[in-house]
Structure 1
Amino acid sequence: MSTPLAPQDNQHTGQRAGRPQFDRPQFDQHRDHYTGPQPLYAPQTQMQSRTNEDPGKVLGIISLVATLSTFLGFNFLGPAVGIVTGYMARRASKEGGFGDNEMGKWGFILGIVFIGIAVVGAILGISISAIAAMMGYF
């Protein structure tokens, strides 16, 4: 003769209700075969894997490309955009816990150099034309 189970017991497994069964294998209820371990966490998505990426990476690329657009004829606008975005890229990388953003650093430095060269060239051009005008060549 069998003894009846207590009301708080689970009648199918003989264990108390409310206690999770972590050590017992998971069986399919319809076929009674092992279905494998069940994951305890959600699979990693694309957004979760991008969190390890440098937050200033894209701004660093934009900075370097904008600065190098000097060679395409954007003598003042390109380097100015490169300086601003380079500064933003370096700041975002440091705040994100990454090291210094190399592309942002080079975009910032080259932007300053190219604007300096453009300013010196403009001053030389104005002064040479002023001297030529005073000497009567124009």
Structure 2
Amino acid sequence: MHRRALLATLVPLSGCMLTPSGPSTTAYPTSGPNIFATIDWDPDREAFRVTFDRGNRVTAENTGRLFVVTPGADGVETVWVDRDGTDSVGEFPLTPGATLTHEIPEPATTRLVWVAPERQTSRAVAVWRPETSTPGADG
């Protein structure tokens, strides 16, 4: 008797079971590649040397633009790669080991900036700041 009652209850509810849904048709938002870079000042050349140390390949599919900018030096900018190819010194794809020279007259805070393919998102992936010295007390 309990078996009939259980079956009578489960049959109408069988269409309400959770079933896994298929894959989403909407694309995931574009995220930037992992870029680990170093920025080193070269006083002999009056330039920064930017080195792509490790990370994912930088391609036209995951990057709209990658550039180095020094805002304090009148916004001096060196475009490493750009999907539009305007004034870029490099080509896609960029892989670890790639280097760039960014010339400015004196060292100042400098950033390596990644821009998303749709150009609505950007982020600094590396920053170089001048060393600040704290005067010591003479005693």
Fold match (TM-score > 0.5): no
Task: Answer 1 or 2: higher relative contact order, Cα 8 Å, separation at least 6.
Answer: 2
> Normalising by structure 2, what TM-score?
0.28
Normalized per residue, the structure richer in strand is 2
> Normalising by structure 1, what TM-score?
0.28
Normalized per residue, the structure richer in helix is 1
